[in-house]
Structure 1
Amino acid sequence: MARRSRSFLACCVVAAVTLGAAAGSAVPTGPVRLEVWRTTGDRSELFHRSADVAWHASAAAPQGMVVEVDPTRVYQPVDGFGGAMTGSSAWVLDHDLSASARDALLTSFYGASSGLGMTMVRVPLGPSDFSPAGPGTYDDTRGSLADFSLGTDLTTTVPLLRRAAQLSPSLKVVGSPWSAPAWMKTSGSVAGGTLAGSSYAVYAQYLVKAAQAWAAQGLPLYAMTVQNEPLLDTPAYPSMTLTPGQEAAFVGYSLGPRMAAAGLGTKIVVFDHNWDTPSYPLAVLADPAARRYAAGTAFHCYGGSPARQTVVHDAYPALPVWTTECSGGTWGAGFAGDLVWASANTFVGSLRAWSRGVLWFNLALDTSGGPTSGGCSGCRGLVTVDPATGTWTKNPEYYVMAHFARFVRPGAHRVASSTASGQVDTVAFVNTDGSTVLELVNEGGAPRAVTVRYRGRDAVVTLPARSLVTLRWAG
């Protein structure tokens, strides 16, 4: 990952609403109540269900800001939410927790009824900046793929993800390479450099074999990003640069045809880098050969605004967008600031800018922010595991993930909701069971009264200062 400094927003409030009626049905005339779930910046409520709120006839003089949810204006579907099972996350779960604690944490992540209900996971295809096993790739034998193997992933990551898939049967796995094997690169190293022109064909086959190997373990890749952070060249950890022209040529003439011939159904996703450079995916997608095989664009949160995703969506509205990486860390602004920033930007902001899913970076790291392999030294996972005690604690982003993953289910569609960026940020969804979810973020340092308006009815909700609240109703 590439770290960035961030100015954190004031606060997040998320309201999730579970509707028992179809999106096109009217609100019943009988009493209907909304569930209220809240996480506050002062930690007085942490994914806590507060008192329900009742609907009433719309008032001529509503209280506070009016947030209107319009289920007739429908936008993108949702694939789900999750995090990255990096080598470090797998190591922490496997080495620093007892078997019972490890299963409890996996259940907390992926359990549909007793956990967050996450339905996506990202895995590095080979080494990354969080690879305690070292920089070895899936095949380090020059000139041949005869020695191809998932290596240490077979003994750590694969068993953990098999358990995750038991808990979340619809789990979608997204694979991302940080680097080609050293012998395929101009630098002769997995750290830095670019893909040699003579290696396009063999590297494409290497990635096809990676998809086949994961599928053989019962974990087929839903999607594969072409290259993690292709604009980053660092000697500190596995990385590889690709210009837009290189990525377009690789997708259009090497990876795309071979992946299609293999018949795996894995989506090829371009870019996988920061919001501030939409010109990169636009250039890749402008190439007709690449566009034939590209299934969408992935973004990271370490530069720019999530609104920049809209530039790519508007140019290619048929191609999905995903937010595939973001991390909190020691550079943050404390619990409240981190809660607010992640909620308003990585989740609400990216979802309003057409993301079909949000993936956090490391699922779990230890108390030193590791183990690392030359990358970020101040990063933090959704949870922090203490190796000395074998226990784990939830970080702000865990609670943000809870509000979204638990209530916005795969197949949901975003629907229209009014918003006031910088004050109360909102995003709304209708689930496949007819339930509707409204997420609200109060960025201010004082409570706000909000009137939620839906099909001629109002419900007044108080958003605590710097908080994240979920409303859920059936109607």
Structure 2
Amino acid sequence: MLGTRRRPPGVARRRMRTALATSLAAVAALLAGGAASPPAAADPARAAAVVVPVRLDPGYQQAPFEGWGTALAWFANVTGGWPDAQRNRLADALYGAEGLGLTIARYNIGGGDSPETEPYMRAGAAVPGHWNRPGPETPDGWDPDDPDHWDSYADGNQRWWLKAAKARGADTFEAFSNSPPHFMTDSGLVSGAVDPTRDNLRPDQYERFAAYLAGALRRVQNSTGVTFASVSPVNEPGTAYWRAGGRQEGSHWSPGSQARMITALRAELDRSGLSTPIAAMDETDPDMFRANWDGYGSTVRSSIGRLNTHTYGTNGRSGARDIAKGAHTPLWMSEVDLGGTVPQSFTDMSPALDLAERITDDLTQLEPRAWVLWQAVEDYENMTPAHEDSNWGLIQTDFTPTRAATEPLRKNKKYWAMAQYSRFIRPGSRVIGTDDDHTLAAVRPGGQGAVVVHTNPTGSARTIALDLTGFRSVSSAPVQRYTTDATRNVHREADVSPTGKRLAVTLAPHSVTTLVVPGASGVDPERAAPAVGPRLLVNDHSGLALTAASAGVGSALVQRPPNRLDTAQQWTLTRSVPGDWSSTASYRVTNAGSGQALAVAGGELTLLPPDPSAQQQWMLSSSGDGHHTVINSATGTLLDVTGASTADGAPVGTYRPNTGRNQSWSFHADPAGG
């Protein structure tokens, strides 16, 4: 959540299936089937020359979505004390039904520097601590069991925001910490250690800090009426961002220190009678998240009730996704924002398109239950050309205004791009599979209707041709269309109509468009993947097929050149629960040659007589590109070619998620990939 964080380098798109040369005759047929007319300013011939086929797959449904949200630090620490009318305008813009309709708020439990420390943080970043100091010369005398050592009503501005969010319908709240109080640290500052690669919490302060977090949690709940669904004790722990004298709170934690802190906090919450789940570890990116998780023992892992990762870096999303599935623990994307690549602007679509692509990729590749922005309101002055000259936040306002009551609340195009998602994909929706990079789709709560959000980052109009054949039924009900581009903000366009189970729509350049398809429902089992019948499991790294080395029980598993006639290579996937279309549905994987089921027993991949045990249950993960990871339900390990070998006869086993292509598989009806 570093406000001056450099923009991470772009990550390669996961799949590139855009059809750029579809014939004009084919396009004309699509348009006759219900496409809207191109925008007046667009060249119709050019628009018609670009068609993007998009297939929706309701047979792959993520867990019910919990909602969209924002962290309250640092803007709430500032604006929660503004005149009532002004702070309510902001709350309406974020949490109101006519605004973004956010339903999640992350509350920052501040650590708090010493009163003698000269202020050095950026505007809003000095979040108040919840402690009362026993005396000016005895900060180490602070006793969490002494009520007089607590400021029970500290941080009133953030608390106002908790109540304001709840009053507007927010129903999910998380507390998180960036740093312990100054008197528990090595440096004496809440901004980090003198050496940013070292921990700042003193070794003798773990239990005391746990008591601080639990005590602050209880007091904030009691004073606001909000119940926290989780508490996160560490934030971006593996980075070297946090140094003494930096402009915000932060603390480094080694994986061993993270584990100790999680254990200490769980014990303290239990001692205090708080059943609040612990969220961890709010790492900067999925790759670092995975490295931290790999360092935790089973006891620590079992103490974690939800997994949190940020996506300031984007590599390794599939690893975090599969860790969460294997651990049977929900996952959040709990913090990110993008400043964009252009100077501060409230009309340029470039930052909005960047944000839209990040949301789509995060939801598709990471499969989080929630998506939470870093502070939705940013300091306007800090974003001006004289300072960062950037586009952080969805709304920018001066954090040190001359007159708060009249300070402008400046919405940029990112605000409206966010609304294209948050107003339509509501809590209880299920994100579904698509085969296009720029498209996010979801079925609405209850399964009746679908929402499609497509980003057109190009300078030309494009037609998307939606394939809705994966749904059991699609009525002719009009499809609503909303657009944000250079001149429009979530503008309702003319409705369009599907023809059968097909829909073509022409979209403006540099735009984000939301389509609400009310008549789509159910799943056509004939179209759901994996298809019925024996399939070859071909490794995406080696190009070789999973093979039972012999026909007997307990056969070794190896990889061999694909041969569709070899029954040792033929596998049938059977859903454990027919009609379970969730992305965590489990399957039995049965070998045609032996009739035995793929299993993990004694830590080894093997074949066993079929039974309902978890060791024979496998989950599939996919980003919609036809490639899958295969996760064992009992162990959380993935089907894996040992050592990433490409050799004929190399052993196949299971291993923890590592995002390697040796853990990626395709289902083929024949060696050619049919």
Separation (CA, whole Å) in 2 of partners of 1:367 and 1:63: 39
Task: Describe the shift of the 1:35–1:407 C-alpha distance in structure 2 as closer, same or farther (beyond 3 A).
Answer: farther
- How far did residue 391 of structure 1 move? 2.4
In the alignment, structure 1 residue 314 sits paired with structure 2 residue 325: no
8 Å contact kept, 2:130–2:155: no
Larger Rg: 2
8 Å contact kept, 2:55–2:434: yes
In structure 1, the partner of 2:166 is 165
- 3-state SS of the aligned residue for 1:189? coil
| Corresponding residue pairs, total | 416
- 3-state SS of the aligned residue for 1:355? coil
The TM-score with structure 1 as length reference comes to 0.79
In structure 2, the partner of 1:229 is 236
- 3-state SS of the aligned residue for 2:63? strand
In the alignment, structure 1 residue 442 sits paired with structure 2 residue 456: yes
Separation (CA, whole Å) in 1 of partners of 2:379 and 2:323: 42
Residue identity opposite 2:252 in structure 1: T
- How far did residue 157 of structure 1 move? 1.6
- 3-state SS of the aligned residue for 2:410? strand
Listed as ranges, the gaps of 5+ residues in structure 2 are: 14-32, 42-48, 113-120, 134-138, 194-199, 470-499, 520-674
In structure 2, the partner of 1:243 is 254
Separation (CA, whole Å) in 2 of partners of 1:260 and 1:209: 12
- How far did residue 149 of structure 1 move? 2.6
Separation (CA, whole Å) in 2 of partners of 1:466 and 1:319: 37
- 3-state SS of the aligned residue for 1:349? helix
Q: 2:511 aligns with which of 461, 467, 470?
A: 467
Q: 1:277 aligns with which of 263, 288, 291?
A: 288
Q: Identical aligned pairs, as a percentage?
A: 23
8 Å contact kept, 1:245–1:283: no
**1:118-197 to 2 correspondences below 5 Å:** 118-126=102-110, 132=124, 134=126, 136-139=128-131, 141-143=139-141, 144-145=143-144, 146=146, 147-149=149-151, 152-154=154-156, 156-168=157-169, 170-193=170-193, 194-197=200-203
- How far did residue 261 of structure 1 move? 4.1
Task: Describe the shift of the 1:298–1:157 C-alpha distance in structure 2 as closer, same or farther (beyond 3 A).
Answer: same
In the alignment, structure 1 residue 202 sits paired with structure 2 residue 208: yes
Partner deviation per Cα, 1:376-400 (whole Å, 9 max, x = no partner): 8956322112546422121232112
- How far did residue 401 of structure 1 move? 2.0
Residue identity opposite 1:215 in structure 2: Q
Residue identity opposite 2:242 in structure 1: D
In the alignment, structure 1 residue 358 sits paired with structure 2 residue 360: no
In the alignment, structure 1 residue 67 sits paired with structure 2 residue 81: no
The TM-score with structure 2 as length reference comes to 0.57
- 3-state SS of the aligned residue for 2:278? strand
8 Å contact kept, 1:86–1:130: no
Task: Describe the shift of the 1:203–1:339 C-alpha distance in structure 2 as closer, same or farther (beyond 3 A).
Answer: same
Separation (CA, whole Å) in 2 of partners of 1:34 and 1:432: 28
- 3-state SS of the aligned residue for 1:76? coil
Residue identity opposite 1:233 in structure 2: W
In the alignment, structure 1 residue 454 sits paired with structure 2 residue 468: yes
Task: Describe the shift of the 1:376–1:124 C-alpha distance in structure 2 as closer, same or farther (beyond 3 A).
Answer: farther
- How far did residue 470 of structure 1 move? 0.6
- 3-state SS of the aligned residue for 2:458? coil
- How far did residue 328 of structure 1 move? 3.4
Task: Describe the shift of the 1:293–1:10 C-alpha distance in structure 2 as closer, same or farther (beyond 3 A).
Answer: closer
- How far did residue 34 of structure 1 move? 11
Listed as ranges, the gaps of 5+ residues in structure 1 are: 12-31, 45-61
Q: 2:85 aligns with which of 80, 96, 100?
A: 100
- How far did residue 35 of structure 1 move? 12
- How far did residue 302 of structure 1 move? 2.3
Partner deviation per Cα, 1:8-52 (whole Å, 9 max, x = no partner): 7999xxxxxxxxxxxxxxxxxxxx99999xxx9xxx9xxxxxxxx
Separation (CA, whole Å) in 2 of partners of 1:227 and 1:376: 27
- How far did residue 240 of structure 1 move? 1.0
Task: Describe the shift of the 1:261–1:417 C-alpha distance in structure 2 as closer, same or farther (beyond 3 A).
Answer: farther
- 3-state SS of the aligned residue for 2:448? coil
Separation (CA, whole Å) in 2 of partners of 1:349 and 1:428: 14
- How far did residue 167 of structure 1 move? 0.9
Partner deviation per Cα, 1:328-368 (whole Å, 9 max, x = no partner): 337546632211111111x1111111111111112223421
